[in-house]
Chains A and B, each alone.
Chain A
Amino acid sequence: MSDSGINRRDFLKVLGLGGSSLALTGCGNTDIRSGDEIIMPNVQPEDFVVPGLSVFYASTCTQCGSACGVMGRVREGRVLKMEGNPESKISGGKICGLGQAAVQVQYNPDRLTQPMMRVGDSLQPVSWDKAMALLEEKTGPKSGINGNEFAFMTGAMSGHLKVLVQNYLDSLGSRNHFVYEALSPAVSFAANKQIYGVDMPRLHFDKAKLILSFGSDFLGTGASPVHFAKEYAKFRKAPRGTLIQIEPKMTMTGANADRWIPIIPGTEGVLALGVANQLLKHGDFSKTVPADIVNLVGKYDPDTVSSITSVRSDLISHLAGLLWEKSPSLVISGASVEGHVHGVQNASAIQILNRILGNVGKTVDGQAQSPFPQLAPATGSFASLKAMNDGMGAGTYKAVFVYGANPVFTTPSFMGFRDNLRKVPFKVAFVNAIDETAEECDLVLPIYTAVEDFGSHVAWYQPEGVEITMQQPLMDKLYSDTRSMGDIMLDLVKQRRADEYKAWPNFFSYLKTAVTNIKPAVKYTDTDEHFWYDTLSHGVIHVDAPQQQIAENFSTDMLDLPTTVTSPDPKFPFYLIPSERHYFRDGRHANCGWLQESPDPLTTVVWDSWAEIHPKTAASMGIHEGDYLEVSSQNGTIKVKAYLFPGIHPDAISIPLGQGHESLGRFAKGVGVNPFKILNPVFEKNTGELAMFGTRVSVKRTGQSEIVVKDEGPVSTQMGRKLVVTLPADVAQLSKEI
Chain B
Amino acid sequence: MIHRLLATLCFAFLFGAAAGAEPFVQGGPIGSQTPDGYNALGPVVKQPIEFPHYRHARDMGINCMYCHTGARRGYVSVIPRIDKCIGCHQNIESVRNKPRIKKLFEYWDKKQPIPWKKVNDLPDYVRFNHERHIQRFYFRQNRPVREVCGYCHGDVANMTVDRRVKALSMGWCISCHQKDHKESDTNMKTSHGPGECWQCHK
Contacts and interface: CB of A to CB of B under 8 A. Distances in A.
Interface in B2-17: 2-3, 6-7, 10, 14-17
B10 A50 contact: no
A3 B40 CA distance: 21
B190 interface: no
B145 interface: no
A28 B19 CA distance: 12
B150 interface: no
A689 B125 CA distance: 56
B70 interface: yes
B109 to A, nearest CB: 11
Interface string A1-38: 11111100011011100000110111111111111111
Contacts, number: 165
Interface string B5-40: 011001000111111111010000011010000001
Contacts of A44: 81-83, 111
A43 interface: yes
A44 B2 CA distance: 48
B3 A41 contact: no
Interface string B163-198: 110011111101000000000000000000000000
Instruction: Indicate the member of B10, B21, B22 with the most A CB atoms within 10 Å.
Output: B21
A40 B47 CA distance: 12
B116 A38 contact: yes
Nearest to B67: A41
Contact of A50 (B24, B40, B78): B78
Contacts of A713: none
A532 B41 CA distance: 53
Nearest to B19: A5
Contacts of B163: 34
Interface in B55-112: 69-70, 73-76, 78-83, 108, 111-112
Range of interface residues on B (Cβ < 8 Å): 35 or more
A50 B79 CA distance: 10
Contacts of A568: none
B113 A41 contact: yes
A51 B70 contact: yes
A508 B116 CA distance: 34
Nearest to B108: A43
Contact of A27 (B30, B69, B174): B174
Contacts of B164: 32, 34
Contacts of A6: 2, 6, 16, 18-19
A201 B146 CA distance: 67
A53 B131 CA distance: 12
Contacts of A26: 15, 31, 171
A60 to B, nearest CB: 29
Contacts of A24: 14
A35 B69 contact: no
Contacts of B15: 25-26, 28
Nearest to A34: B42
B18 A43 contact: no
Given A2-B18, A52-B78, A32 B116 contact: no
B148 interface: no
Interface string B138-157: 00000000000000000000
With a 10 A CB-CB cut-off, give which of A5, A26, A36 has the most chain B CB atoms.
A26
A43 B113 contact: yes
Interface residues of A, number: 39
Given A27-B171, A52-B78, A34 B22 contact: yes
Interface of B is mostly: loop
A736 B45 CA distance: 66
A283 interface: no
Contacts of A5: 2, 18-20
B82 A41 contact: yes
A52 B70 contact: yes
Interface string A245-275: 0000000000000000000000000000000
A727 interface: no
Interface in B113-137: 113-125
Nearest to B44: A35
A513 interface: no
Contacts of B74: 50, 52-53
A42 B82 CA distance: 7
Nearest to A6: B18
A668 to B, nearest CB: 31
Contacts of B116: 38-41
Contacts of A28: 15-17, 30-31, 169, 171
A4 B70 contact: no
Nearest to B37: A29
B199 to A, nearest CB: 15
A4 B20 CA distance: 6
A45 interface: yes
Q: Is the interface of A mostly helix, strand, loop or mixed?
A: loop
B44 to A, nearest CB: 8
A35 B82 contact: no
B117 to A, nearest CB: 5
A3 B18 CA distance: 10
Given A6-B18, A24-B14, A43 B83 contact: yes
A42 B78 CA distance: 10
B33 A41 contact: no
A2 B78 CA distance: 24
Contacts of A30: 16-18, 20-21, 169
A53 B70 contact: yes
Contacts of B70: 50-53
B6 A42 contact: no
A38 B115 CA distance: 6
Given A14-B3, A28-B30, A39 B18 contact: no
A55 to B, nearest CB: 12
B22 A33 contact: yes
Nearest to B6: A14
Nearest to B169: A29
A696 to B, nearest CB: 56
Nearest to A28: B31
A287 B14 CA distance: 93
Nearest to A51: B78
B115 A40 contact: yes
A29 B75 contact: no
A40 B22 CA distance: 23
Considering residues B74, B81, B108, which has the most beta carbons from chain A within 10 angstroms of its beta carbon? B81
B164 to A, nearest CB: 5
A27 B33 CA distance: 11
Given A26-B31, A39-B116, A32 B121 contact: yes
Contacts of A33: 21-22, 118, 121, 123
Contacts of B33: 29
Interface in A34-74: 34-45, 50-53
B6 A29 contact: no
Contact of A53 (B73, B80, B112, B170): B73
Given A50-B69, A50-B78, A39 B20 contact: no
Given A37-B118, A38-B115, A40-B114, 18 more contacts: A1-B124, A24-B14, A25-B14, A28-B17, A29-B168, A30-B20, A32-B164, A34-B42, A34-B163, A37-B121, A38-B118, A41-B80, A41-B82, A41-B113, A43-B81, A43-B113, A44-B111, A51-B78
Interface of B: 2-3, 6-7, 10, 14-22, 24, 30-31, 33, 40, 42-43, 45-46, 69-70, 73-76, 78-83, 108, 111-125, 163-164, 167-172, 174
16 contacts: A4-B19, A13-B3, A27-B169, A28-B17, A31-B21, A32-B168, A33-B123, A34-B42, A34-B120, A34-B121, A35-B42, A40-B115, A41-B80, A43-B81, A50-B70, A52-B76
Across the A-B interface, give the 7 residue pairs with the lowest CB-CB distance, nearest first: A4-B18, A27-B171, A29-B169, A35-B45, A27-B170, A52-B76, A34-B42
